[in-house]
């Protein structure tokens, strides 16, 4: 990969980490963990789905 892309990739990765942290904080404040939040989010977005789809 071209070296010019590394700074952008690094910044993007940090942004994703911060966003996941914000979701984890919200989940914790609402009595669940991050993975439970992802399951509920998947059910909300996909309607009914299987465990494998989640």
Domain assignment present for residue 35? The answer is yes
pTM value is: 0.72
Which structural domain, as residue segments, surrounds residue 38? Answer: 24-54
Considering its fold, how many domains does the chain have in total?
1
Domain assignment present for residue 52? The answer is yes
Domain assignment present for residue 2? The answer is no
Domain assignment present for residue 11? The answer is no
For tokens 């942004």, what's the residue? 15
Ramachandran quadrant class, 31 (left: phi over 0; alpha: psi -120 to 50; beta: rest) = left
pLDDT tens digits along 1-54: 688 889 999 999 999 999 999 999 999 999 999 999 999 998 999 888 888 887
Domain assignment present for residue 41? The answer is yes
Residue 51's pLDDT is what? 84
In whole angstroms, give the CA distance from residue 7 to residue 43.
35
In whole angstroms, give the CA distance from residue 45 to residue 10.
29
Domain assignment present for residue 34? The answer is yes
Domain assignment present for residue 43? The answer is yes
Domain assignment present for residue 32? The answer is yes
């Amino acid at each position: 990969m071209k070296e010019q892309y590394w700074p952008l990739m690094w910044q993007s990765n940090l942004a994703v980490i911060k966003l996941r942290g914000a979701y984890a904080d919200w989940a914790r404040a609402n009595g669940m963990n991050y993975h439970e939040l992802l399951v509920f989010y998947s059910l909300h977005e996909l309607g009914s789905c299987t465990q494998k789809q989640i």
